[in-house]
Amino acid sequence: MERFIEDFKNEKFDIIIIGGGITGAAVAYAASSRGLKVALLEKKDFGGATSAATSKLIHGGLRYLANMEFSLVRESLKERKILGNIAPNFIYPIPFMIPNYRRYKGGMWMMMAGMFLYDVLSFDKKDTWDKSKELSNHDTYRRNKTLKLEPGIRKNKLVSSTIFYDYQSIFPERLTLAFIKSAIDYGAKVSNYALVKGFIKNGKNEIQGIDVYDILNKKEIEVLAPLVINCGGTWADLILQMATGSSEKTYKVKRSEGIHIITKKINNEHIISIIKDDGKHFMVMPWRGHSIIGTTDKEFQGNPDDYKVSRESIMDVVDTVNQYYGDGKLRYEDVIFAYGGLRPLIDDQTEGSYESSRKYEVYDNSKDGIEGLITVEGGKYTTSRNLAYHVMDLVQKKLNIKLKDSITYNNYLSGCEIKNMEEFMIKLHNKYDKEFSSNTIEYMGRNYGTESKMIFEIAQENSHLSKVLNADGELLAQVYYAIKKEMAKTLKDIFLRRTGLGTLGNPGKEVIALVSDLASELLNWDNKRKNEETESLLKVFELP
């Protein structure tokens, strides 16, 4: 992976994509794989905003059944299976447990009906490439079995529990990166830290390209294409406002804050999904020997660039857990790490952000008098591939061309070319178990897929890079790989999006020092830049 703007030769593209989250990444892959010349520009780092603030799930949207959105649920269930097929090392079946209490009254029958309907709508869930990805139908456990499997569930008025299955995405940031790499494999040119400063237009107000500021090299360039796709997500309306040159917004994005906290493990192997008294739900999810708890759904007003996780939002989650789960003694001090982001919702959806659908919209901005701009908004991680497919329908019309057939539904993502995960992991253990721990082999195989071989080779060639950095078995070799092969340009890129070294909170001074020393050497940082990078990273780990 190389930042194309560093050695740009005034190449002209068919489309320019603004935004390197999962939507922009999926659109870049869809477009390049169908023969278009694509440039993708991200103002910070790939998958670093909303795409990193998820519950780490690929799900069918069970709760959307309450809104009678059957087509959205069916689409989500179909796409859930496709993502499980094309990214087998990132996505795994996981059981959900919904405790059923007497206070639900008529809600129990609605739950049963919803579960049967969910099974019906996911009729093809066993039709997977890898049989280990098959999902079972829902089940009901009696009270005693429920408490035996998950002792943290409250006993009072507990009747039973409902079990159903979805997928867990173990590293969404690297999954987004796999879409980016897949686009690159088909010729797409990409760059992070590339800020769009304005739009280039002709005399007919038709967009011809964009002005881009290379943040790292502090220079401006022009990138030309007859069509620009706005995949800015939370920032989509601000990008459109830039395109119109108007002080008034013609297109609005509703922003919903979602945060998660990470604690020591307080549940076992199920995702505990608890329905609160107000009808909303929260989840306690197992992940890397810890528990992720969330999410919130609170409307956010203001500039998305100013968003930060607040102590109030963290305490909202802590108080919710104490009201409904466990021993009621979770404290602010028990929070190891907290992360959050803003979800973009289409503005004409329902008033409350929780009730808002995760529908998406592909909008031709020629209706606003701007020719050459498409805005993509709404949606969710699970349906991102299919959203990109529908974007291509409009792209064909706008460019007046016929694209090649789509291949994104039946081709593995880059680095994910694995027919059987169990066999793949057995082979990795057999090959590397004399040199590396079982934890290291498991982590590399699942988070790097077929690219894990390169990590092991780097560690074998340099004993310093074989140093183990955490309980998961992560290696210093990953840092080398992130910088040399994956366009990591900052410590936050390395700790939060290329590796998992910082996604469980502060990994400690020794690990930060080892990584910053290596990054300084490979990226030619002076002491001033090195200290700035370290201070910036440490702020991420500070709880407000």
- The two tokens of residue 480 are 């080398």
In a domain, 392, yes or no: yes
- 3-state SS class at 325: strand
By residue count, the chain amounts to: 544
Give the C-alpha separation, 454 to 438, whole Å: 17
Shared domain for 233 and 283, answered yes or no, is: no
- 3-state SS class at 79: helix
In a domain, 380, yes or no: yes
Give the strand pairing for 219-224 and 227-230.
unpaired
pLDDT recorded at residue 238: 92
Residue numbers of the domain that contains 149: 93-167+254-346
- 3-state SS class at 298: strand
* Amino acid letter, residue 241: Q
pLDDT recorded at residue 195: 98
In a domain, 149, yes or no: yes
pLDDT digits (tens, 9 = 90+) for 30-62: 999 999 999 999 999 999 999 999 999 999 988
Shared domain for 223 and 274, answered yes or no, is: no
pLDDT digits (tens, 9 = 90+) for 327-360: 999 999 999 999 999 988 765 543 444 444 456 7
Q: How do the residues of the chain divide into helix, strand and coil, expressed in percent and rounded to 5?
A: 40, 25, 35
In a domain, 74, yes or no: no
Give the C-alpha separation, 360 to 384, whole Å: 9
- The two tokens of residue 140 are 């009901």
Query: What are the phi and psi torsion angles at 511 (to 5°)?
Result: -65, -45
Shared domain for 115 and 178, answered yes or no, is: no
In a domain, 190, yes or no: yes
Q: Are 91 and 198 in contact (CB under 8 A)?
A: no
Residues facing residue 258 across a β-bridge: 341
Q: To the nearest whole number, what is the mean pLDDT of the chain?
A: 94
pLDDT digits (tens, 9 = 90+) for 167-224: 999 999 999 999 999 999 999 999 999 999 999 999 888 999 999 999 999 999 999 9
Residues 6+ apart with CB under 8 A from 383: 75, 76, 79, 358, 360
In a domain, 116, yes or no: yes
Residues 6+ apart with CB under 8 A from 208: 200, 201, 202, 224, 225, 226, 372
Q: What is the sign of the dihedral through the CA atoms of 147, 152, 156 and 158?
A: negative
In a domain, 351, yes or no: no
Give the C-alpha separation, 11 to 37, whole Å: 10
Shared domain for 123 and 248, answered yes or no, is: no
pLDDT recorded at residue 67: 81
Shared domain for 385 and 489, answered yes or no, is: no
Give the C-alpha separation, 341 to 48, whole Å: 10
Give the C-alpha separation, 542 to 357, whole Å: 33
Shared domain for 500 and 388, answered yes or no, is: no
CATH number for the domain harbouring residue 478 = 1.10.8.870
Residues 6+ apart with CB under 8 A from 427: none
Shared domain for 468 and 494, answered yes or no, is: yes
Shared domain for 162 and 183, answered yes or no, is: no
Count the domains in the chain: 3
Shared domain for 321 and 259, answered yes or no, is: yes
pLDDT recorded at residue 13: 98
Q: How many Cα neighbours within 13 Å face the side chain of 99?
A: 30
Shared domain for 235 and 144, answered yes or no, is: no
Give the C-alpha separation, 533 to 244, whole Å: 36
CB atoms within 10 A of CB 442: 16
pTM of the entire structure? Answer: 0.96
- 3-state SS class at 193: coil
pLDDT recorded at residue 355: 43
Q: Could you tell me the pLDDT band of residue 104, with boundaries at 50, 70 and 90? A: low
Q: How many Cα neighbours within 13 Å face the side chain of 37?
A: 8
Shared domain for 141 and 108, answered yes or no, is: yes
Q: What average pLDDT score do residues 247-252 get?
A: 65
Shared domain for 289 and 428, answered yes or no, is: no
CATH number for the domain harbouring residue 316 = 3.30.9.10
CATH number for the domain harbouring residue 41 = 3.50.50.60
